[in-house]
Structure formats: C-alpha cells, structure tokens
Structure 1
Amino acid sequence: MPSAFEQTLTAIDALHAQDPRQTTLADGTPLPQELAYAQRMSHWLAQLQSSAPAELLRLAVRAQHLQRWLVPRSDYPGGRIGYLTWRRDQGERAGDTTAQLMRDAGYSAADAERTATIIRKKGLGRDSDVQALEDCACLVFLENYFADFSRKVEHDHMVRIVQKTWGKMSPQAHALALALPMNATSVALVKEALGSA
C-alpha cells in the first residue's frame, strides 16, 4: 500500500495534470504547464539539499502552484497591489488544498498545517523550509522563464525584478543561479542588476 507521502504526491500531480495549458520540454515532450513547473521545483530542491529533503518540504515544493490556473491574474486589479493580493490568495488556496490532500492520505493535522505554512511562505527569512521553497521558485524562474519574461517587461523594471528576486535568495541559491546557462542579454541584465556591469 502506498505511503501517505506517495498518496499525497500522486494526488498533487493528478491535479497538476489537469492544467489545460501546455508547455513543451527541452526534449520536445508536451506536458501540462503546472506539472512541468512542479517537476522543475522538485529538481531544484534536490540540488539545494545535500541530504534527502524532509517529506513535508518535498510536498510543499511540489504543490506551490497547485491549480494556479483556476484563478487567473486577470481576475485581480492591475499593478503591484493587485499582483501581491493575487499571489497571496493563490498561496492560501494551494496551502489549503494540499493540507486537505495530506489529511485524506493520513497525515496529522499538524503536519498538514505545517506544509500549508511553507506553501504560504510564512516566515521567509526566518524559516529554513520557506527559504528552500523560495530558492526553488527563484531558480525555476531564472532557468526557465526569465529570458522570455525580460523581453516583455521594460528594462529598468526588469532590473528591479532581478534585484528583488536576488534579495529573496540564499547564498547557496545565488551560486546555483550564477552557474545557469543564460543568453548574453540575460547575463547583461543580471550583471547590471547586481551592480557588476
């Protein structure tokens, strides 16, 4: 019989697989966008942790964007306040849904709530698990979405985004980010943002 961890992970990925938006991996494999994102998050967690990550952190990292497509950004007002409200609400919903999946699989209420707290990013800067999740999210962004995103955003605004992203990352994540393959435009943008242009 599958463990509570295996049952929860399977349930999380089943919800990810319902994302109607598709993406294509580097090898040409089509995959629901959210499932691809979740797999990338798990990949970076394995790079960040020298020993096997704890179960609750693994679940939180896997579920960070759970069913995000159900509430599009366009449902909220434009601007920074609208974005932050949307992101907060998404974290609350993903945390609640994950906690319910965990309780259904046999986890304690305390373990389910702890995982939801990590997903909601409560305690960033003080909680090592929340920091690990944030590091994974930043690395996934820089590796997979940064180049395309930077073509759509005004230059000075993009510099500020890189600076804010960098400020949320741990020194270990900084080292991994600097080793990422990037095109010349992205490298120049990062150097400018970090003051080493």
Structure 2
Amino acid sequence: MTTTPFQNASAWIDAENAQDPNIEIDQSKSFPKELLYSNRMYATLMDFYPNASEAVQIASKAQHICRWKIARESYPMDRVGYLKWREDLKKFHAKTTAVILEKAGYDATFIARVSFLIEKKLLKKDQETQLLEDVICLVFLEFYLEPFVLKHDTEKLKNIILKSWNKMSENGQQEALKIKFSAANLQLIKEAIGL
C-alpha cells in the first residue's frame, strides 16, 4: 500500500517529537511532551476547522517540533532573551519541518507556505495564520492553563489570558468559551477579558 506525502510527513514529524526526553502525563499515560502537544494541536484543529488545508494541518503538527533542542536557559532570562528565544524557535521549527517536507516529496511552494505559517507571519491578515493562532490559543486554554494557574499570581495570569484572547479571531473566542473549564478558571478568564 502506498502512503501519501502527507502521511509520510505526519509520521516523520511524530517520530521527531517522540524523541522528546521530557515526559507529560495525560489520562494516566506517559507521552513525550512535544508529541502530546502536536497531537493536541492537530486534534483541536480538525475539531475546530475540519476543512483546514494540508499546509495548516502540517503546521499544526509541527508547531513545536523538537522544541527541547533549544533551551530557554540558553538565552538571557529577561524579556529580550525570551523574545529572541521565541523568534529563533519559530525559524528552527520551520527549517526542521521543511527538511521533512522535502523528503516527503512536497514542492518548494508548499514548503514555503508551511514555513510561513509556522513562523506565524501576517497574523490577523492571513486567514490560515490566524486559524493556526486560534488553535494554539485553544490548546493553551484547554490543556495548559491549569499548570500556569499553579505557577503565577492572578494579575500575571489575567495578563497572559488577555494576550491570548486578543490574538484570537471572534470564531476562536467563541470556541474557547465552549471549553469545560473549572469554575475558578472560568471566573479568571471572564475577569481577564472583561465579561
């Protein structure tokens, strides 16, 4: 049975992310952290927008590909260091994915498009970049807000939530309000966004 370029690319992205030494527990099972994140991104995208193009589907899976290879600690621990780390990560994720897509047989135009999306260019202007950003924010709110709540004070949390909220489209925001939050987190979100 022959496999499609998409199936190959997906399997290779999964194989890369499966090498993450950081482990996260989900429903009593252990997963390499970035593989779990990749699966959550893809599942959320297909749930939220089943007609997403192949480029967005791949970008969702590869959003954090091999993220552990560039440690936050290798940059100055200030705002400037953080932003530089984030910028370098985007380029690294795009480049790592481009190598996989070339191996899978995709053409240069498609690869450039996926890189464009992973680097989140033209947010709010490009529909697919916006879709990807919506999914990133939905995944954060559904799966990663809780651990954040344990680490940060209320004001910082409200600030983080509001920043995520403002990056989303109206559709994304409506979808976010359907997530089953704990009562405390729902209250926090409502206060952050002024509902």
Q: Map 1:10-159; keep pairs closer than 5 Å.
A: 10-26=11-27, 28-49=28-49, 51-159=50-158
Is the Cα–Cα contact under 8 Å of residues 46 and 52 in structure 1 kept in the other structure? yes
Cα distance in 1, alignment partners of residues 147 and 7 from structure 2: 34
Is the Cα–Cα contact under 8 Å of residues 94 and 119 in structure 1 kept in the other structure? yes
Deviation at 1:112, TM superposition (A): 0.6
**Unaligned runs of at least 5 residues, structure 2:** none
Deviation at 1:118, TM superposition (A): 0.2
57-66 vs 169-178, greater mean Cα deviation: 169-178
Cα distance in 1, alignment partners of residues 165 and 80 from structure 2: 21
Once the two structures are superposed, what CA deviation does each residue of 1:112-142 show, in whole Å capped at 9, x if it has no partner? 1110110000111111111111111111111
Cα distance in 2, alignment partners of residues 78 and 188 from structure 1: 31
Is the Cα–Cα contact under 8 Å of residues 48 and 132 in structure 1 kept in the other structure? no
- Give aligned-pair identity as a percent: 37
Deviation at 1:86, TM superposition (A): 0.9
Is the Cα–Cα contact under 8 Å of residues 159 and 192 in structure 1 kept in the other structure? yes
Deviation at 1:52, TM superposition (A): 2.8
**Unaligned runs of at least 5 residues, structure 1:** none
Deviation at 1:185, TM superposition (A): 2.2
Provide the aligned length of Structure 1 versus Structure 2: 194
Is the Cα–Cα contact under 8 Å of residues 48 and 172 in structure 1 kept in the other structure? no
Cα distance in 1, alignment partners of residues 80 and 181 from structure 2: 30
One-letter code aligned to 2:126: D
SS in structure 1 of the partner of residue 57 of structure 2: helix
SS in structure 2 of the partner of residue 182 of structure 1: coil
Deviation at 1:5, TM superposition (A): 1.1
SS in structure 1 of the partner of residue 84 of structure 2: helix
Cα distance in 1, alignment partners of residues 95 and 134 from structure 2: 22
